[in-house]
Amino acid sequence: MPPLLRFIILRFLSIPVTVLIITMILYAFVMITPPETRAQLYFSGKMPATIDSEERIQRYTEKIISTHHLRDPYPVQFLYWLGQLLDGQWGYSPILKENILPALIRRTPVTIELTLYSLLVFFPLGLITGMIAGWRKHERYDQRFRAAAFIASSIPMFILALVLLDIFYVAVYWFPPERLSIANSQLIISDEWRQITGLVTIDGLLNGQPDVSLDGLRHLVLPVVTLSLMQWATLGRIARVSVIDEAQKDYILAARAHGVNERGLLWGHTFRNILTPALNSTALSVAWLVTGVYVVEIIFNFNGISDVVVRGLLGTPDASSVLGFAIYNVILVCLVMFALDIIQVIVDPRLREGLIAK
Amino acid sequence: MKENSRRQITRRTSLLAFLITGIFIAVAIAAPILTPPDPESADPAYKLVRGNYGNQPVPPGDVFPLGAIPAGFRQYLDIYHSLIWGTRSALQFGILVVFFSASLGIFIGAASSYLGGWLNATVMRVTDAFLAFPIIAGVVFFEEIYISIVSPGVINLYQFEEPTLSPIQELLARIDPLLVTLIFFSWMAYARLMNSQVLRIRETAFVEAARALGASPWRLIFRHLVPNSVSPAIVLAARDVGAIVLFQATMAFIGLSSSSPWGVSLAAGRKWIIGPGGNMLRYWWVFFPITIAIILFGIGWNLMGDNLHDWLNPHKDT
């Protein structure tokens, strides 16, 4: 088997392991709550309509507790619950009034769109500025870069978002909040709209309505700027430190002795070599990126995945949506980390040929 | 010449780091003197003043040094008070979280890499699994557990009796859920750092010598391995204090926590931050002082981390 394929298969197999570990831990915490609360995880959509008196509710809860073994020891309960999850029954959310898994899947494209555009902005920007700063270590550019990164990572995202909204929405009305304007958000849920990718900016073009794409882009500007600023600082610092480490290596010295100019040294020689540590660090901080994405979603009123839990917390909390949200996110993060690892192996020939282990 | 100017800059930034963090610590300690807590208020971090000052935020003046935000009928939240007591709460929260998560991570990382073999592989696998968990999911999850323990009547719509709590539940009910979440989901970076550091020095001569002299595993870990590999973790911890406080304020602002007076006060003034006609300077006191405090707090601890880095690794130049 070629090393690349072997790596991909092995790496993919680690995803279920991660999800299993996390679900085990989460369910261990769920065990702290009384069985009546746990019974909520198995409530179905039909429940509120048929049950009115307290006695019947108790009977219903009792029935769930006995059929789903909710008084049994942890491993038994956990396995029954896991079976339910694998079966695709992630529970019913009384607030969303639907099953939680389809609700999560339906909201995913919104989150993906926001993340994707932010990635397109901050990844090249962070990499390039960080690399230049590391190459010109302690010069004026580097000092400015570090100061800017310090400030960018210390600014509260929510205040930045409000200040941007204040200037670019209220004052000049260039970039409004939310995902689309009212007319277009009506349009994309109507029958005329063919949903292909779920990303409005791309679907708009595919539907032959570029104005919808444009509207989507306009609404994306402020959230993307807010999200990118912080991620730029993080990635930029990683790139900077990686370049400083790399610049001390012998091959740079050799290339310099051969007469390669500074620009060639940085972009021709160092660049390829810092991609691996940069991608590696990015993969490790994907979970933080996801958290940042949700914060921006909440502030700008994008109804992405975070919508599921935010609504839950405002009204009566429901256990299924919170637990479903957690597990769904772990799977998402695992997939992104997997993708980044694969890119890393493809980019780095040493890893690709299996010469060094990752 | 170049080296010399670099030294000067380092000295200047280190002075700045000590200055900023020093001021925050001083303010936190002196909070009761700077602005005495309201005896009627349940939480000393907030001071609500009764009176009639209109429906708009009250500008800075004699009664309120930094203005106030209307909070309820003829009640006003003193911003200066929130700022000062928020410093105290932020410092406590940041240091507490970092202390516990760093200790946990350092212990797990050092112990597992010392023991090595399949045990280390398993522990590191679990660490990686934790890394895939977005902390915001942890926040809502623990919040949910917390609510269901403290007030089952809310979560379980159909039951309203007074709950009887087990010792674990009792303990959890008394602690801030955000604190628990952050400790539980931010030790991984420390564990990974320690792990790689300890693996590097595990086979060195001085460890071998200590083992030959009959040192117990505990002694080896805590007297030899940890002290010789802990410095990157200390640097990370200093930087984390700022990041954690920023995160705490963010969670308070979006309504997922109520433990940060800074975040809560900003959230209370939310609708005045966007001023009339896009003029955010109209009610600047609603957000400006606290925002500056948060930014300075983050910068201060970040600089402190850089400082510690230079100080602990004098030979490494970054």
Task: Report yes or no: B111 and B221 within 8 Å, Cβ to Cβ.
Answer: yes
- B143 and B223 share a domain? no
Q: Looking at the complex, does the CB of residue A50 fall below 8 Å from at least one CB of chain B?
A: no
Q: What is the pLDDT of residues A11-59, one digit of tens each?
A: 888 899 999 999 999 998 888 887 777 777 777 766 555 556 667 777 7
Could you tell me which of B300, B263, B299 has the C-alpha nearest to residue B83? B263
Average pLDDT for B50-66:
82
- B200 and B111 share a domain? yes
Tokens 């290339």 belong to A255
Could you tell me which of A104, A98, A103, A99 has the C-alpha nearest to residue A332? A104
Q: Look at residue B262 and tell me if it is in a domain.
A: yes
Q: Looking at the complex, does the CB of residue B2 fall below 8 Å from at least one CB of chain A?
A: yes
Q: What is the pLDDT of residues B269-283, one digit of tens each?
A: 888 887 776 677 788
Q: Look at residue B281 and tell me if it is in a domain.
A: yes
Q: Poorest-confidence range of A152-166, A215-229, B46-60?
A: B46-60
Which structural domain range is residue B82 located in? 2-129+185-312
Q: Which of the four pLDDT bands, split at 50, 70 and 90, describes residue B1?
A: very low
Q: Looking at the complex, does the CB of residue A152 fall below 8 Å from at least one CB of chain B?
A: no
For A215, list phi and psi in degrees, rounded to 5: -60, -45
DSSP structural state of residue B183: H
Evaluate if residue A195 carries a pLDDT over 60: yes
Could you tell me which of B54, B110, B16, B6 has the C-alpha nearest to residue B318? B6
Q: What is the pLDDT of residues A225-267, one digit of tens each?
A: 999 998 899 899 889 988 988 888 899 999 999 998 888 888 8
Answer yes or no: do A150 and B249 touch at CB < 8 A.
no
- B7 and B123 share a domain? yes
For B158, list phi and psi in degrees, rounded to 5: -105, 5
- B8 and B111 share a domain? yes
- B117 and B77 share a domain? yes
Q: Look at residue B317 and tell me if it is in a domain.
A: no
Distance of alpha carbon B134 from alpha carbon B136, whole angstroms: 6
Closest residue of chain B to A29, computed from CA coordinates: B145
Q: What residues of chain B lie within 8 A of the CB of A14, using their CB?
A: 125, 128
pTM greater than 0.90: no
The mean predicted confidence, pLDDT, of chain B is 84
Find the largest Cα–Cα distance for chain B.
77
Substitution target in B133, B157, B190 with the highest count of A β-carbons within 10 Å is: B133
What are the DSSP E strand ranges found in chain A? 92-93, 98-99
Task: Report yes or no: A48 and B158 within 8 Å, Cβ to Cβ.
Answer: no
Q: Looking at the complex, does the CB of residue B16 fall below 8 Å from at least one CB of chain A?
A: no
The per-residue pLDDT for B155 is 42
Q: What is the pLDDT of residues A46-73, one digit of tens each?
A: 655 555 666 777 777 788 888 877 888 8
Buried b (16+ CB within 10 A) or exposed e, B96-111: bbbebbbebbbbbbbb
Q: Which of the four pLDDT bands, split at 50, 70 and 90, describes residue A302?
A: confident
Beta pairing class for B68-70 and A98-99: unpaired
- B64 and B6 share a domain? yes
Which element (helix H / strand E) includes B181? Answer: helix B177-185
Q: Provide the chain B residues 80-119 that lie in CB contact (below 8 A) with chain A.
A: none
Q: Look at residue B190 and tell me if it is in a domain.
A: yes
Could you tell me which of A143, A115, A149, A156 has the C-alpha nearest to residue A234? A149
Which element (helix H / strand E) includes A123? Answer: helix A100-135
Closest residue of chain B to A37, computed from CA coordinates: B156
Q: What residues of chain B lie within 8 A of the CB of A10, using their CB?
A: none
Q: Looking at the complex, does the CB of residue A172 fall below 8 Å from at least one CB of chain B?
A: yes
Could you tell me which of B70, B293, B155 has the C-alpha nearest to residue A156? B293
Evaluate if residue B102 carries a pLDDT over 90: yes
Evaluate if residue A214 carries a pLDDT over 60: yes
The per-residue pLDDT for B245 is 94
Q: How many domains does chain B have?
A: 2
- B268 and B287 share a domain? yes
- B192 and B146 share a domain? no
Q: Looking at the complex, does the CB of residue A33 fall below 8 Å from at least one CB of chain B?
A: yes
Q: Which of the four pLDDT bands, split at 50, 70 and 90, describes residue A144?
A: very high
- B150 and B31 share a domain? no
Q: What is the pLDDT of residues B213-264, one digit of tens each?
A: 988 888 888 888 888 888 889 988 998 999 999 999 999 988 888 888 999 9
Answer yes or no: do A159 and B156 touch at CB < 8 A.
no
**Residue B1 tokens, joined:** 């010449």
List, in order of start, the domains of chain A with CATH numbers.
12-89 (no CATH), 99-357 (1.10.3720.10)
Distance of alpha carbon A46 from alpha carbon A44, whole angstroms: 5
Beta partners for residue B77, in sequence order: B48, B69
Q: What is the pLDDT of residues B109-168, one digit of tens each?
A: 998 988 888 888 899 889 988 988 999 988 888 888 887 777 654 444 445 455 566 777
Answer yes or no: do A153 and B302 touch at CB < 8 A.
yes
Q: What residues of chain B lie within 8 A of the CB of A333, using their CB?
A: 132-134
Answer yes or no: do A241 and B318 touch at CB < 8 A.
yes
Q: Look at residue B318 and tell me if it is in a domain.
A: no
Task: Report yes or no: A151 and B297 within 8 Å, Cβ to Cβ.
Answer: no
Residue from the list B140, B274, B299 with its beta carbon closest to the beta carbon of A151: B299
- B102 and B232 share a domain? yes
CATH number of the domain encompassing residue B13: 1.10.3720
Distance of alpha carbon B57 from alpha carbon B286, whole angstroms: 7
Distance of alpha carbon B285 from alpha carbon B269, whole angstroms: 10
Of B144, B159, B176, which closes a domain? B176
The CA-based angle B292-B293-B296, given to 5 degrees, is 80
Answer yes or no: do B132 and A30 touch at CB < 8 A.
no
Task: Report yes or no: B186 and B139 within 8 Å, Cβ to Cβ.
Answer: no
Q: What residues of chain A lie within 8 A of the CB of B158, using their CB?
A: 54, 57-58, 61
Q: Look at residue B139 and tell me if it is in a domain.
A: yes
Distance of alpha carbon B213 from alpha carbon B231, whole angstroms: 26
Evaluate if residue B16 carries a pLDDT over 60: yes
Could you tell me which of B264, B273, B283 has the C-alpha nearest to residue B46? B264
Instruction: Tell me the three state secondary structure of residue B230.
Output: coil
Q: Look at residue B251 and tell me if it is in a domain.
A: yes
What value does the CA radius of gyration of chain B take, rounded to a whole number of Å? 24
Could you tell me which of A327, A342, A258 has the C-alpha nearest to residue A90? A327
- B57 and B192 share a domain? yes
Q: What residues of chain A lie within 8 A of the CB of B299, using their CB?
A: 150-151, 154
Closest residue of chain B to A138, computed from CA coordinates: B6
Q: Look at residue B295 and tell me if it is in a domain.
A: yes
Q: What residues of chain B lie within 8 A of the CB of A171, using their CB?
A: 277-279
Q: Please report the number of interchain residue pairs, chain A to chain B, with beta-carbon separation below 8 angstroms.
A: 184
- B117 and B221 share a domain? yes
Distance of alpha carbon B254 from alpha carbon B252, whole angstroms: 6
Q: What is the pLDDT of residues A104-142, one digit of tens each?
A: 998 898 899 999 999 899 999 999 999 999 998 888 899
The per-residue pLDDT for B88 is 92
